[in-house]
Each structure stands twice: as C-alpha cells, then as structure tokens.
Amino acid sequence: MPQGAKLSECGKDSREQRKYFILTVTNLEARSLSKAVDAGTKILYYLDAVLFNCYYGTKEVIQTNYLLKLFTELNIINNILFNLGFMWTDFVMILIATP
C-alpha cells in the first residue's frame, strides 16, 4: 500500500496489535498476570486506530476508480473467460487422452 495511506497505517497498527496479543498470550501461559494485563491494555490502545484506518482505507479503495479500472482497463471479465477456455480444454484433454 502507498506510504501514508489509511490502509498502510492499518497494516502498521494491526502488526503492533498482533505483537501485543502474542505477548499477552505468552504471559498468560507463563502465569504472569500483571504483564499479561499490561500487554492486554496495549491491545485495546491500538483497537481504535486499527478500526478507523482499516475502515476508511478500505472505503477509499472501494469508492475510487480502482474497481472501475479493474473492469474497463484491465478487462478482467474477458481475462477470466479466456482462462476458463484453457481450463476447459485441459479438462477435456485429460478425459480423452490415454496414457
């Protein structure tokens, strides 16, 4: 994702949140409750940033011309149909061919 974009920030924040989640679980397994609670509060600290950046970042991608370009410029429907033709040919050849 482009640097400074909402989805880029979403990725950074969720990475930090996962780090503290793993730390919380590790401390719970080691029965170190004070460290687990401390790491758990840091999970909640990143929750708002993750939800905000992921929501608005996804909304940016969906509402821009990205999806329109996918179907007009990249012609994805023709690409899918073209590849399905090759898969059908391979399937028929597997059924017909004898070793």
Residue with tokens 């080691």: 30
The two tokens of residue 48 are: 């708002």
**Which two tokens mark 76?**
């994805």
Name the residue with tokens 């994702």: 1
Query: What share of the chain in percent tops pLDDT 90?
Result: 5
Domain ranges within the chain, ordered by starting residue: 6-64, 74-99
- Which is more confident, 61 or 34? 34
The answer on pLDDT for 46 being more than 70 is: yes
The Cα 91–Cα 12 span in angstroms is 44
Both structure tokens of 71: 């179907």
Q: Which residue matches tokens 């004070």?
A: 34
pLDDT tens digits along 13-41: 888 888 888 889 898 888 988 888 888 88
CB 4, CB 53: distance < 8 Å: no
pLDDT of res. 49: 84
Angle between helix axes 33-63 and 6-29 (nearest 10 degrees) is: 160
Hunting for tokens 């989805």 — which residue is that? 7
Q: Is 0.75 surpassed by the pTM of this model?
A: no
Q: What pLDDT, in 10s, does the model give residues 75-86?
A: 888 888 889 989
